[in-house]
Amino acid sequence: MGRKNPKDRLFFPNNLKFIRIISTLEPSGTPRTGEPAHDRFLPTPPRRRPAVARAEKILDALDRLLRRRETDAIGLPAIAREAQIPLSSIYHLFPTVEAAYIGLMRRYNVQMDRALEPVISGSTSTGWQDLARALLCAARAFYTQHPVVARLVLGPMTHQAARASDDSHIAELATRFAAEVHRRFHAPQVTALEQRFAIAIAISDRVWSLGLTEDGTIPDFLFEESVRAVLGYLGHYLPPCLELRSELAA
């Protein structure tokens, strides 16, 4: 039996259905080989250039609506009116409002990955604590620049589909962070290290949610508290000092 994807080991009970659905997608949004057919909770991957442009226009409309309304006040008819696209075209690409939220979150997740990748791969940090702080700083900056996704992920009125998509993304980030720690340092073998990192990210998100402002700002006090919480939690599993690998220590 093959090795399970770390995403499938996470325990977010309220969102397991959505996470299983999302985890069947390749980064392109198409189902993986051998996986079930398309689900109504997922966006329908556009096949042609006009459909791609239409999907982006729909997601832009949802994004604009979220700047003005709470999540529970938005349905597909409202998105169709905002996008000035027939409702039938919305259904073709986004069968449900959950699919639209997942489509928007996937777009934001790609943007966040681009923002975090230079921090992960280009950081000159000599300790895992500095690397963790740098990642938290970059994530905070991203939320400040994109208040819609900050409210979807951290706000009190988040949509279940958006939260589930974020949980799946947390698993991906945790796997990437764990791989980078092992690439940089002679790190001990920690059981379920990816899961520990995922929990650490979830801890920071929860702390940030306690004081998120409408414009996506995370107050300095809460940011510093989140750093303390993350480093304290991970410090139970990683020693305070890890030896840099020889090719990086030079």
At 25 the three-state DSSP class reads strand
Structural domains in the chain? 9-249 (1.10.357.10)
pTM of the model: 0.79
Q: By the 8 A CB rule, do 245 and 185 touch?
A: yes
Selected residue with higher pLDDT from 22 and 107? 107
Q: What is the mean pLDDT of the chain?
A: 81
**40-57 confidence digits (pLDDT tens):** 778 888 888 999 999 999
Q: Residue 16 — very low, low, confident or very high, per pLDDT cuts 50/70/90?
A: very low
Report how far residue 227's alpha carbon sits from residue 225's, in angstroms, rounded to the nearest whole number: 5
Q: How far is CA 55 from CA 97, 125, 208, in A?
A: 13, 40, 31
Residue whose entry in the numeric block shows the structure tokens 């999907």: 55
**Could you tell me the CA-to-CA distances from 148 to 42, 64, 86, 153, 240 in Å, in that order?**
20, 9, 25, 9, 36
pLDDT at 212 over 60: yes
Comparing CA positions, the residue from 27, 26, 46 lying closest to residue 92 is 46
Question: Could you give the 3-state DSSP secondary structure of residue 186?
Answer: coil
Identify the CA nearest to 63 among candidates 175, 149, 144: 149
How far is Cα 216 from Cα 218, in angstroms, rounded to an integer? 7
Average pLDDT over residues 147-171: 82
21-25, 106-110, 129-133: the lowest-pLDDT one: 21-25
What CA–CA distance (Å, rounded) separates 194 from 201?
A: 11
pLDDT of residue 249: 57
Task: Give pLDDT tens digits for 66-100.
Answer: 988 777 778 999 999 999 999 999 999 999 998 99
Q: Which candidate, 227, 6, 213, 28, places its Cα nearest to that of 138?
A: 227
| Position with higher pLDDT, 224 vs 244 | 224
- What is Dmax (Cα atoms) for the chain? 60
Measured distance CA(95)–CA(88) in Å, rounded:
9
Q: Which residues contact 139 (CB under 8 A, 6 or more apart)?
A: 112, 116, 204
Between CA 31 and CA 168 the distance in angstroms is 15
pLDDT over threshold 90, residue 185: no
Residue 11 confidence (pLDDT) above 50? no
Of 13-17, 77-81, 168-172, 189-193, the range with the lowest mean pLDDT is 13-17
Name the 3-class secondary structure at 185: strand
Q: Which residue in 109, 108, 127 sits closest to 172, CA to CA?
A: 109
Could you report the per-residue pLDDT of 129-141, keeping only the tens digit for each? 999 999 999 999 9
